[in-house]
């Protein structure tokens, strides 16, 4: 009788969070992690039976810049750009000694410049040239697609039900992230986000607050080119330059924290 054997591997990982948006970080420069194993990624991100995270990020070699960022949503699928993940991988690269305080890395949406200054990570996002403004919402892509909608009494708002409905019914199978916004004071907004791929509200979304800041400026709700966004997981800042072509020099600014490291058998 043939005996089937399965090779197991001990995977070293690092757990990070950026204003409550949490990730599993793996140094995959040796290319030992199977990038096509979506079931494994989903299992690792599972909060009951795995490590638990909003997503998993691989740091890999790049031929010309400092490193490559490969990002997976919690459902195991390769995803669009993750801003908080970009800040966390910058901290991780610094921790590993790959970079000092500045870096350039490649993500799924192209190259990003980043720096660590005064304990905060400043991540340069892509330029935004197209913003779709409707009566009830604004839609734009800041590395990931985002629906931005202003509401009242955000703390009592049913983000999960309303967000899931918009994500699926308006944007179909591909979906979009859905951000609900309430103005707190001048240049200061509260944001809650339903994220596709996680399929739930998250404590923070970097591309989401970037989208909110630009949407609020485009709609005339703010005139400053620096906006503070308060989320359940903490506050992030967005700075940008408005030009005739759209928005350039867009920076997502906030903390990134290594929570713990460990080894799991996979």
- Give residue-wise pLDDT tens across range 195-235: 999 999 999 999 999 999 999 999 999 999 999 999 999 99
Q: What is the DSSP string of 129-179?
A: --EEE-SS-EEEESSSEEEEEE-S-GGG--HHHHHHHIIIIITTTT--EEE
Average pLDDT taken over every residue of the chain:
95
pLDDT digits (tens, 9 = 90+) for 124-154: 999 999 999 999 999 999 999 999 999 999 9
Whether the pLDDT of residue 4 is over 60: the answer is no
Catalytic entry in 4, 45, 88, 205: 205
Domain boundary assignment for the chain: 11-115+256-265, 131-254
Which of 4, 45, 82, 88 is an active site residue?
A: 82
Q: Greater confidence, 140 or 1?
A: 140
Reference 91, options 121, 111, 63, 117; nearest CA is: 121
Q: Which tokens belong to 179? A: 């951000």
Please report which confidence band the pLDDT of residue 9 belongs to, taking 50, 70 and 90 as the band edges. confident
State in words which class domain 131-254 has. Answer: alpha beta
Q: What is the pLDDT of residue 1?
A: 45
71-96 pLDDT per residue, tens = 999 999 999 999 999 999 999 999 99
The band of 5, judged by pLDDT with boundaries at 50, 70 and 90, is very low
CATH number of 11-115+256-265: 3.10.310.10
The C-alpha R_g of the chain, in whole angstroms, comes to 19
Question: Taking the model in full, what pTM does it have?
Answer: 0.93
Is 205 among the residues known to form the active site?
yes
pLDDT above 70 (res 6): no
Same fold, 11-115+256-265 and 131-254: yes
Say whether pLDDT at 181 is over 70.
yes
Q: Are 85 and 24 in contact (CB under 8 A)?
A: no
């Amino acid at each position: 009788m043939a005996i089937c054997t399965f090779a197991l591997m001990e995977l070293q990982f690092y757990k990070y969070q950026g204003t409550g948006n949490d990730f599993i970080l793996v140094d995959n420069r040796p290319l030992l992690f199977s990038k096509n194993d979506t079931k494994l990624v989903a299992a690792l991100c599972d909060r009951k039976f795995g490590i638990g995270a909003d997503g998993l990020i691989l740091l890999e070699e790049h031929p010309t810049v400092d490193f490559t960022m490969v990002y997976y949503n919690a459902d195991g699928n390769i995803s669009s750009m993750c801003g908080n993940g970009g800040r966390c991988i910058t901290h991780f690269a610094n921790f590993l000694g790959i970079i000092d305080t500045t870096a350039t890395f490649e993500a799924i949406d192209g190259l990003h410049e980043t720096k660590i200054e005064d304990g905060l990570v400043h991540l340069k996002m892509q330029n935004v040239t197209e913003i779709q403004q409707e009566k009830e919402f604004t839609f734009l892509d800041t590395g990931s697609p985002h629906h931005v909608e202003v509401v009242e009494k955000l703390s009592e708002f049913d983000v999960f039900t309303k967000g899931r409905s918009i994500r699926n019914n308006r944007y179909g199978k591909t979906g979009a992230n859905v951000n609900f916004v309430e103005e707190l004071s001048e240049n200061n907004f509260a944001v809650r986000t339903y994220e596709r791929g996680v399929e739930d509200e998250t404590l923070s979304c970097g591309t989401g607050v970037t989208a909110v800041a630009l949407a609020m400026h485009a709609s005339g709700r703010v005139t400053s080119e620096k906006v503070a966004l308060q989320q359940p997981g903490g506050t992030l800042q967005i700075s940008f330059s408005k030009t005739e072509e759209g928005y350039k020099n867009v920076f997502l600014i906030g903390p990134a924290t290594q929570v713990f490291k460990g080894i799991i058998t996979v």
